[in-house]
Amino acid sequence: MRSRRRLPRWLQRLLLYLSIVGPGLITASADNDAPGIATYSMAGSAYGYRLLWLILVITVGEVVVQEVAARMGTVTGKGTADLIRERFGVRITAFAMLCLLIANLGTTIAQFAGIAAATELLGLSRLLTVPLAAVLVAYVVLRGSYERVEKVLLVLCLSALSYVVTVVIIHPPWMEILRDALTPSFSGNADYLLAVLATVGTTITPWGLVYMQASVVDKGRPPEEYHYTRLDVVTGAVWGNVISAFIVICTAAVLFPRGIVVDTAEQAALALTPFAGEGARYLFTAGLLGASLLAASVLPLSTAYAICEAFGWERGLNHQAHEAPTFYGLYLGLIAISVIVVLLPGIPLFPLMWLSQSVNAILLPVLLVLVLKLVNNPRVMGSWTNSRLQNVLIWGITAIIIIATLALLLSPWLGNL
């Protein structure tokens, strides 16, 4: 018999990497979701290039935080909520899960606000499109068809590349951009502090941390292959933040000089006019709708999984509704509350989206501190604990959030100073 030819080593490694890739890319794509696009558009249009330094800092922060989540999932084979319950008990777990629930509910509401904003650009009423989107998302996920739909939504998310093309067309002042990216700027103004918190909260998210660890656990790869998972995490985080930076640059170059501070989807779409002309609104709509539907599918499900995991309740789509009532109740409840809030008369969609990300940031330190304690515990991680540099970086991000939150609370007095 003829012996089967072995594939070249480089091709074997590539195929193995492609079998593992996913959590990092999906989490990064979901970072540039509806509230992400709203936040970066607001930041660029209101402050020009002044917040680019923060994008640079939180890129490093996101790489480190997401890598920690992926490493914990690989080494322990358990989700974040499961580990928190085992190591910290019911009270701390309940507090952590409450913070996660509030943050994720706010972000889920923001996703449906993104759906409303996108479809209203096409002249369709949110009264029709938001409930329809909710039914569609729930049907696709509960029927187990999400993995097929996910590919379509990821393709729609590629429309974010139009920001890169637009920046190339308009030739922004690169020396000024470089200077602002390398020079931190600060202000005691409440609006500026909210923009800082929203920018952090839309990039390093509580749900992203939990989702990353759960996805890695589901992949079930051994620690010996972890370097492929780490590569997925790092490339995904860097890629997502490069796109984020280009959204800021694009809106700063096109809208900031005209004094247009993004407050609506129509204003945000103007940033793509140099590239797409009259088609800017349709290009923007495709990206906003795809990103919103992608995150609206992932967020409620990952939240229900995490909370049920934390308290040992039955969970998973392989169970019937009567077998896992809390799981299905949480999932459908998050969607229902989000739809109701977005349909409230006079609700401002874009401010709602980026304000939800400020709440994300304010609640994030609770999870970061618990995760740091877990990942530095040799009983949990063995020899896979954090390095000193990793701890310093995560504590640094936590400090930025806490300082910005305290400054926001004190901003009436700081403004006077």
Look at residue 29 in the predicted model and tell me its pLDDT. 57
Q: How far apart are CA 389 and CA 67, in angstroms?
A: 13
405: domain CATH number?
1.20.1740.10
Residue 8 lies in a domain: no
Distances (CA, A) of 35 to 42, 180, 185, 368, 412: 10, 24, 23, 21, 26
For residue 355, give the nearest of 109, 185, 45, 52 by alpha carbon.
Answer: 109
Q: pLDDT tens, position by position, for the chain (417 residues)?
A: 444 556 566 555 555 544 545 555 565 555 677 888 899 999 999 999 999 999 999 999 999 999 999 999 999 999 899 999 999 999 999 999 999 999 999 999 999 999 999 999 999 999 999 999 999 888 888 887 556 666 666 666 667 778 888 999 999 999 999 999 999 888 878 888 889 999 998 888 888 888 888 888 877 778 887 887 888 888 888 888 898 999 999 999 999 999 999 998 889 899 989 888 888 888 888 888 888 888 888 889 889 989 998 998 988 877 888 888 999 999 999 999 999 999 999 899 988 998 899 999 999 999 999 999 999 999 999 999 999 999 999 999 999 899 988 888 877 665 544
For residue 57, give the nearest of 180, 206, 163, 188 by alpha carbon.
Answer: 180
CB 272 within 8 A of CB 162: yes
Query: Angle, nearest 10°, between helix axes 349-375 and 80-121?
Result: 160
Look at residue 281 in the predicted model and tell me its pLDDT. 87
**Number of separate domains in the chain:** 1
Residue 6 lies in a domain: no
In DSSP notation, 233-246 reads HHHHHHHHHHHHHH
Residue 13 lies in a domain: no
Residue 302 lies in a domain: yes
Q: Exposure of 74 by Cβ count < 10 A (0-12 exposed, 13-18 middle, 19+ buried)?
A: buried
Look at residue 233 in the predicted model and tell me its pLDDT. 84
What pTM was estimated for this model as a whole?
0.87
Distance of CA 124 to the CA centre of its chain: 27
* Biggest CA pair distance of the chain: 86
Q: Which domain holds residue 299?
A: 21-252+260-378+387-416
Helix, strand or coil, per DSSP, at residue 399: helix
Residue 11 lies in a domain: no
Say how many residues make up the chain.
Answer: 417
